[in-house]
Structure 1
Amino acid sequence: MTHTEEWRTIIEIEEHDDHTTAVARLQTRDATSLEGRGRARRNPLDRDVPEIGAELAAARALAELQHRLLDAAIGDIEQATGQEAHLTS
């Protein structure tokens, strides 16, 4: 039997004078909500290319979200098994 789910991730990006921030939010089917944050700061000597700051901040937010999702999975495994979980990549 095949089971398909859809999880949504929304990334909100805000640009300020010298930095860009991003928040990545994941919503699962069981109402679990996780969030990761990222920030990028432009060197004053660099050209102002907002897309680069947005990309860096979003990537960092997604990386943090990934760690939080793995931590949630580990917690769920430990709760289900009653044993300490060790995940390998």
Structure 2
Amino acid sequence: MDTMRHEWDVRLFFDEDGRHTECEARLVGERAPGVTARGASTCSDTDRPEARIGEELAAARALSALARKVFSQASGDIEDEVRRPIHLMY
């Protein structure tokens, strides 16, 4: 059996204003489904602003949303192929 290797990359883009951080996670690659998702974080008024922590939280939320979108798309693609509803475990 011949194997083929494909690569998908996740690109993270951040917008910050010192208190709020937003992250867009984008799945890219020749055969990637082109899915994007967003995540955000907000620094509490009582917290010392720490950009790295805001980025980590926003990225984690964006990546989690991205995973859900890819899973949902794969489920829909399978349903299209088998022409009936399916239930996949996440």
TM value normalised by structure 1: 0.92
Offset of 1:8 from its aligned partner? Answer: 1.3
Deviation at 1:31, TM superposition (A): 5.5
Pair 1:65-2:66 in alignment: yes
Superposition pairs of residues 42-81 of structure 1, within 5 angstroms: 42-81=43-82
The ranges of structure 1 where at least 4 consecutive aligned residues each deviate by more than 4 angstroms after the TM superposition are none
**In 1, Cα distance between the equivalents of 2:86 and 2:9?**
26
User: Does structure 1 conserve the Cα–Cα contact (< 8 Å) formed by 2:41 and 2:58?
Assistant: yes
Partner of 1:9: 10
Per-residue CA deviation, residues 55-79 of structure 1 (Å, 9 max, x unaligned), is 0000000011011000100010001
Which of 22-31 and 45-54 deviates more?
Answer: 22-31
Structure 1 stretches lacking a partner, 5+ long: none
Q: How many residues align?
A: 89
Q: Secondary structure at the match of 2:35?
A: strand
Letter in 1 for 2:45: P
Residue type at the aligned position of 1:57:
A
2:89 is the counterpart of 1:88: yes
Matched residue SS, 1:33: coil
CA distance in 2, matches of 1:86, 1:28: 27
Matched letter for residue 28 of structure 2? Q
Query: Counterparts in 2 of 1:7-46, with a 5 A limit?
Result: 7-30=8-31, 32-46=33-47
Per the normalisation by structure 2, the TM-score is 0.91
